[in-house]
Structures are given as structure tokens and as C-alpha cells.
Structure 1
Amino acid sequence: MGRACVRRGLKIGTQPNETILNKATIRWSLSKLAPVAETPSYWIYRVQREDNSRAALRIFKSPDGIGERAGRLLEWYRGDGAVRHYGSTPECLLTEWVEGTTLSVPAKDGKDAQAMSAIANLVGMLHVYRPDPPENLIDLREHFADFFAADVRFWPDTARDLFARSVGIAYSVFDKPHAQIPLHGNVYHDDVFLAERGWIAGIPVGLLGDPAYDLAPSFMHPWGEVKLAANPTRINAMADLYSEKLGLKRKRILAFAAIHAANSACKALAAGESINWQLAVLPNLLAVYDAAD
């Protein structure tokens, strides 16, 4: 991926294990390795393949199978709505290089409705039936295991009711049987890129669960744009459009949006980070959810 794959300006700091990097270089016949950025999860290099095309190489910091899981799901998508996959190991992931802008740009530039529509179309493309789905995907409920086990005392006193309500909604949603399909898990404005073939999603989490969850991350983005993401009118408009275009229940879409925001706050608290952004959005997500039919 290009510059926009690095969320909130993270830069190169430490370096990956040289042995892993060398093995990746040999395995895929790569050259002209240029470090681009570092995220909490991986290092990113712009590289050149044997056919002289550019590619993005990610070296994961905690190899727990995420490289192979993401790779298999990307291979399954075949470039339809997602970045193309060139190769993967437990430690590395090689994909196409995309220089295009992110979906945050039009959303911030007065074209938020078009951005919403692009998200809906993209998720619809990712959810098209394909035979032989990957078998190593993480169950969505398992993905939220740390959220269910989180200690409310880590939350600010004034926000603990938000956490409690979100957990209650999560139990209610997961206790109702629903369709189980492969989920990308990372479809949001800052991680959707404009390629020659249209808007495509970046690196997936690789989940298996309710299709409504793939819309959840987009409710918190563009990140930091409070006039958009924290606006109840906009939240309602997103839920309406997503429900209409994808045939999903509006209340369930909003439920997962609230759960995702609360889970994001839990992860930030565990990492010692601020949750000001999550607390700007979550109350309005819950309010719109409560008012939904």
C-alpha cells in the first residue's frame, strides 16, 4: 500500500529482524527495499518485484498467523474490492502497492454521502458469495473476547455506563443466531484506497461472523472528524444507506457500530492511550441505536 496505509502518521522507528527481511527478499525475489512506515503491528516496505512492479511488504511484529490469515483471505477476494495478494508467511505479507488517495479525502471534502455509498458498495463486493472460503478465520465472538473480559474500572467514572451498555448490546447481538460469512474487519475511510479498478480495502483482520460487522469501523471515521463521525444525523444516514443497499437490519448495524467503538476504547485504554475520540462518538452511536426500530 502507499502512504495512506499508515494511520495517524506513525513513522519508522525500530527495525524488523534482518533474518526475516532477508528471507522475504529471497523468497519473492525482491529488490529496492525502502522502509515506508511503522505501525503498532508491522513494518512496511516499498519493494520491487522480479517483473519490476512495485509491491508492499509488511513484516509483522508479533507473528501469530496474521500474515497467513490475511493472505488467504486476500487470495480468496482475488483483488475484487481488496488489495491484491502476492504472497504470505506467518511473519510477512506481500501485496500490491497502491498510491491512490484514501476515502477520507472525499468524506472531508463535502462528499461524505458519496463516501458512505462507496463503503456500502465495497462491503457488498467483499460479501459476494465465493466458494471455498479460508478455514483459518477468527470467529467474531472470539475476536471480542478481551472486550467481554475488560475491567470497567479502567474506564473514566463518567463513561462506565457507556461500557456497560455496549457490553449488554454485545451479549444481545451475539446470542441471536445469524449468518456467518468471511469478514474483512478493517473497512473504514482511512484504509480504503483508490486504485485503477476503483475503491479497494487494505489489509484484513480475517474474521468469520455477522456481515453487519464489516460496516462497524466506518462509523468512527474519518478519524478525528467530530463534525462527521459524532453527528447523530450522519450516523442515522449511514445506517439507513447501509441497510438499504445491503439488505441488513438497521438496528444490528448500529449495534455492531457501538460495540466496535467501545472495543476500540478498551484497546486504547489497555495501551495507555487516550479515548477522547471514542467518547466523542460512542454516546451518539448508543443514542441512535436506542432510538432505532
Structure 2
Amino acid sequence: MADSIHETFPAEWQISSPELFVETHTSRIIMVRLADGTPAVIKALNETGMREELRGVHYLDWHDGNGSIRVLAEKGNLLLLEHAGNRTLLDHLNEHGDDAATAIAVDVLLKLLANNGQSKSFAPDLRPLREQYASLFKKAEIDRNNGDASIFVEAAGIADTLLSNPVDVQPLHGDVHHENILLGDRGWLVIDPQGLLGDPMYDAANMFYNPLERQDLRASDQRVATMALTFSRAFNRDIRTILGYAMSHAALSASWHTEDENFEEAELSLGVARAVQRVMASLG
């Protein structure tokens, strides 16, 4: 695919063998080789990417390779990134099961959590979680005004309480899932962060919502209960907090799909929220 490459790369990067991997709404992903033959990734950001993805770059810079890929260089709209590997956590789940995949996710999240003790300042452009939840609050307000005590209303109330009482505020990935955790030479690392700021249990919550194609797992009360207990023990956090973020995140996703009039996906997201809701109710 060399003829698909129209970017000009900085000479000092000394990259070779560029090959277009994929083009998204924010960037072109190009696989390259460094001077020593090591694989790397160039992300060529478009205008949308320059607006939306630089927060993620600042997230990666803050972690400096501890649990995440490294930003090797940056120039203009071009990012030179560490290659995380070719094996995803979804591959591991498919071969070894959900519990084994969850255990790896816990290890990765613990590495990311540990980086908050280094007294490093946060980038000012990281998106606060309350801003992230804007669509859920909007949908809940519409339902309340219509006299509908919907699951969106309940989830928004839970989210408001959690966001008003955050713990261990730090940069968040914002989209931790099985295809954004990859295995390479340095072990399991996260890629493609959104760059949020808030309670790290929001990142844990996204694991309940994934893998997207496994509704049998996502909407399973038993899986929700098992994962919540695992996370509560691993992160030393109250299980209701973890479930609260899990439920509100699933409802937030449903609100995004509702805005897009993708009602089928919205209902699948609500299936996850309802499973978490049932587990929360079972706690008494």
C-alpha cells in the first residue's frame, strides 16, 4: 500500500516501510519501521483528530509508558507511537475465557492507577467526567419533564452523586476495552485513549460494557456480579461505586445512541444497564 501514503514524515524519525493500516474519522493509521527495524505506528491526524485526539496524547505523555504505549515523537499533525503488539485482550478472552481476560485488565488498570502517586500535573485540556456525561443528563431531564421515571433518570442520579464525590482524580483513558488492550514486547498496554479526568472507576466501568459483540456477557447478571467483586477487591473500592459507574456508563452509551437515532444499539446498551441495576438491587 505504499502508493496510498501521501504524508511526508520528518527525516529525523528515520522511518521506513510505511503501509496504510486504516483510515478513521479522525486519522490515518500508518504502520512503519524505525531505524533499528522496530515496528511503530504513525497517526496522521485530520482536522477532527487535531480537535479530539490531542487529549489522548497528553494522557499518554502523563503515563509515560507505564501501562500504556509511549508517544515517541510528535510534529504538526503527525504522531509517532509505540507499536503495542498484534494480540488483543479480545483474542485472549476468545481463547482463555472472560475471567482470564478480566484478570489481565485488572493488572493493566492497577499499573495505570499507580501512576497517580508521582505528583505530575494534569494537562488542562483533559475532559472532566461531568462533561463526558452531558448526554445522559440531557436525556434524563427530557424524561423527567415528560413524567417518565426511566432508567436514564435513575442512572443520571447515580452519576451525579458519584461525580460530586470523586476519589483519586487522575487522567482517564475513557475507552478501556478488550480491543484497546494489546500484548507486545512490554506486556499488555492500552492504546487509543480519549483523555478524560476523574475517578478511575469510570475506566473500570467500561469493561462491564465490553466486548460489544458479546451481549451474552455484557447483559449477564452473574458476569456483572463477578466482575464487580473482582474490581472491588483489586482496587479497594466500594462495590456500589463500581456498579454505579458501570450502570451510568451503559446508560450514557444508550443516550449517545438515542441521540444518533440508533435505537437498536441503545436498547442493547440498556440491557447492560439493566443487568447492573439488578445486581445493585440484589445488594439490598
Decide whether aligned partners of structure 1 residues 88 and 165 sit closer, same or farther in structure 2, where only a CA change above 3 A counts: farther
**Aligned residue for 2:28?**
43
- The separation in 1 between residues aligned to 2:158 and 2:76, in whole angstroms, is 34
Q: How many residues align?
A: 273
* 1:168 Cα deviation from its structure 2 partner: 1.9
**Aligned residue for 2:45?**
60
8 A contact 2:15–2:33 mirrored in 1: yes
- The separation in 2 between residues aligned to 1:89 and 1:223, in whole angstroms, is 34
**Aligned residue for 2:245?**
256
1:88 to 74, 79, 103: 74
Q: Deviations over 1:122-179 (max 9, x none)?
A: 111001122313323221112222332247779xx9x982222211211222223533
Q: Deviations over 1:176-219 (max 9, x none)?
A: 35331222222211211111222111121112111211101111
1:123 and 2:109 matched: yes
SS in 2 for 1:127: helix
SS in 2 for 1:126: helix
- The separation in 2 between residues aligned to 1:90 and 1:27, in whole angstroms, is 14
* 1:90 Cα deviation from its structure 2 partner: 6.8
* 1:76 Cα deviation from its structure 2 partner: 2.4
Alignment of 1:146-185 (within 5 A): 146-150=135-139, 161-185=150-174
Alignment of 1:105-116 (within 5 A): 105-116=91-102
Decide whether aligned partners of structure 1 residues 226 and 177 sit closer, same or farther in structure 2, where only a CA change above 3 A counts: closer
SS in 2 for 1:109: helix
8 A contact 1:213–1:257 mirrored in 2: yes
1:285 and 2:276 matched: yes
Decide whether aligned partners of structure 1 residues 41 and 235 sit closer, same or farther in structure 2, where only a CA change above 3 A counts: farther
**Aligned residue for 1:74?**
60
**Aligned residue for 1:7?**
none
* 1:115 Cα deviation from its structure 2 partner: 1.2
- Opposite residue 273 of structure 2, the aligned amino acid is L
1:197 and 2:182 matched: no
Alignment of 1:15-30 (within 5 A): 21-22=7-8, 24-25=9-10, 28-30=13-15
Runs of 4+ aligned residues of structure 1 deviating over 4 Å after TM superposition are 24-27, 151-154
* 1:39 Cα deviation from its structure 2 partner: 3.2
**Aligned residue for 1:103?**
89
- The separation in 2 between residues aligned to 1:68 and 1:49, in whole angstroms, is 23
Moved more, 162-171 or 268-277: 268-277
8 A contact 2:57–2:195 mirrored in 1: no
8 A contact 1:83–1:203 mirrored in 2: no
Decide whether aligned partners of structure 1 residues 148 and 179 sit closer, same or farther in structure 2, where only a CA change above 3 A counts: same
SS in 2 for 1:221: coil
- Opposite residue 68 of structure 1, the aligned amino acid is L
What CA RMSD, in Å, does the superposition of the two structures yield over aligned residues?
A: 2.8
SS in 2 for 1:189: coil
* 1:242 Cα deviation from its structure 2 partner: 0.6
Decide whether aligned partners of structure 1 residues 94 and 279 sit closer, same or farther in structure 2, where only a CA change above 3 A counts: same
* 1:36 Cα deviation from its structure 2 partner: 0.9
Gaps of 5+ in 2: none
SS in 1 for 2:88: coil
- Opposite residue 121 of structure 1, the aligned amino acid is D
- The separation in 1 between residues aligned to 2:26 and 2:131, in whole angstroms, is 19
8 A contact 1:71–1:88 mirrored in 2: no
1:211 and 2:197 matched: no
Gaps of 5+ in 1: 1-11
- The separation in 1 between residues aligned to 2:12 and 2:151, in whole angstroms, is 48
* 1:58 Cα deviation from its structure 2 partner: 1.8
SS in 1 for 2:183: strand
Q: Percent sequence identity over matched residues?
A: 26
